[in-house]
Amino acid sequence: MTEEPDLVAAYGYPRAAWLRLNMVSSADGGAWLKGVSGGLSGAGDKRIFGLLRGLADVILAGAATVRVEGYGPVEPRESWRALRVGRSAAPPIAVVTRRLDLDLGGPLFADTEPSARTIVFTTEAAPKDRRREAARSAEVVVAGDERVDLVRATRELRARGLGRILCEGGPRLNAQLSAAGLVDELCLTVSPLLIGGDAARISNGIAAQHALGLAHVLEEDGFLFCRYVREGA
Ligand SMILES: NC(=O)c1ccc[n+]([C@@H]2O[C@H](COP(=O)([O-])OP(=O)(O)OC[C@H]3O[C@@H](n4cnc5c(N)ncnc54)[C@H](OP(=O)(O)O)[C@@H]3O)[C@@H](O)[C@H]2O)c1
């Protein structure tokens, strides 16, 4: 980015009820390198990743992403202060999981602020003892029998005043959100790397076709930062 654009203006949420996906991929479409996304990222991507967190009411993630990427509570940043007037200092994390195979004693559960407790969307099929244990430190919402109904989960978030949803993946969760027609926007960083291998694309699973309009594309150090909005969103 030769001239620093006004990123807050460029990434402001258009509405109070809006679901944004933020993902990074290699130039040949892979969503991870050596099992994690970090190797695909760069300085500009990290800046935008941080800003998008500061703008969001809540961060939604699939359980595999939480496990593999070692999610903890979001650390508030001084630069977010003005963005977050009237909201918690940092957005809570909302995890989607059927099995509840998460580190329930770890930082994502034990170290959250009361205003930003972790939210767990799970199913009737989840082991009852795990549900009880999670409920000691997190807000547990049962939103389906065998699978979390994502329409219901996003409705639950909106009912809590958490309508600006930032989904950080992973690809299997993204595909379901897309199939349910819930994705309003895709922020995609294209990393200048060819990686081959068998990494999934950023949306992996059930097929769903949506036309996107390109709202902007920025560039820094060969990385492209694309913001797409779903037609009709
Ligand atoms: N490139 C990027 O920007 C980016 C971003 C995020 C992640 N990643 C990478 O993507 C990989 C992980 O992504 P992934 O696609 O394998 O998995 P994922 O979408 O993060 O998580 C899948 C898991 O989420 C739970 N889940 C998803 N949908 C559910 C539903 N409807 N009901 C109940 N539970 C549901 C299940 O958890 P349980 O198994 O607990 O039941 C499922 O195993 C990692 O390698 C990570 O590094 C890349």
Ranges assigned E (strand) in the chain: 18-26, 58-62, 93-96, 119-122, 139-142, 164-167, 185-191, 212-220, 223-230
pLDDT at 148: 98
**pTM for this structure?**
0.98
Please list every protein residue whose CB sits less than 6 Å from any atom of ligand 1.
23-25, 31-32, 35-37, 40, 62-65, 68-69, 96-99, 101, 123, 147-148, 150, 168-173, 176, 204
Cα separation values, 202 from 25, 28, 29, 206, 220, Å: 7, 11, 7, 12, 21
- Mean pLDDT of the region 4-18: 95
Spatial separation of the C-alpha atoms in residues 171 and 182, rounded to whole Å: 14
Separation of 47 CA from ligand 1 center, angstroms? 23
Separation of 16 CA from ligand 1 center, angstroms? 25
- Mean pLDDT of the region 185-212: 98
Spatial separation of the C-alpha atoms in residues 183 and 165, rounded to whole Å: 10
Atom of ligand 1 nearest to the CA of 36: 47
Spatial separation of the C-alpha atoms in residues 73 and 90, rounded to whole Å: 8
Closest CA to 168 of 93, 112, 73: 93
Query: Residue 2: pLDDT band by 50, 70, 90 thresholds?
Result: low
Query: Residue 4: pLDDT band by 50, 70, 90 thresholds?
Result: confident
Torsion of CA 93, 5, 42, 45, to 10 degrees: 20
pLDDT one-digit tens code per residue, 131-190: 999 999 999 999 999 999 999 999 999 999 999 999 999 999 999 999 999 999 999 999
pLDDT one-digit tens code per residue, 101-138: 999 999 999 999 999 999 999 999 999 999 999 999 99
pLDDT one-digit tens code per residue, 76-90: 999 999 999 999 999
pLDDT at position 1 over 60 = no
pLDDT one-digit tens code per residue, 29-79: 999 999 999 999 999 999 999 999 999 999 999 999 999 999 999 999 999
Spatial separation of the C-alpha atoms in residues 87 and 104, rounded to whole Å: 25
Tokens for 58?
Answer: 């809540």
Taking every pair of Cα atoms in the chain, the longest distance, rounded to a whole number of angstroms, is: 54
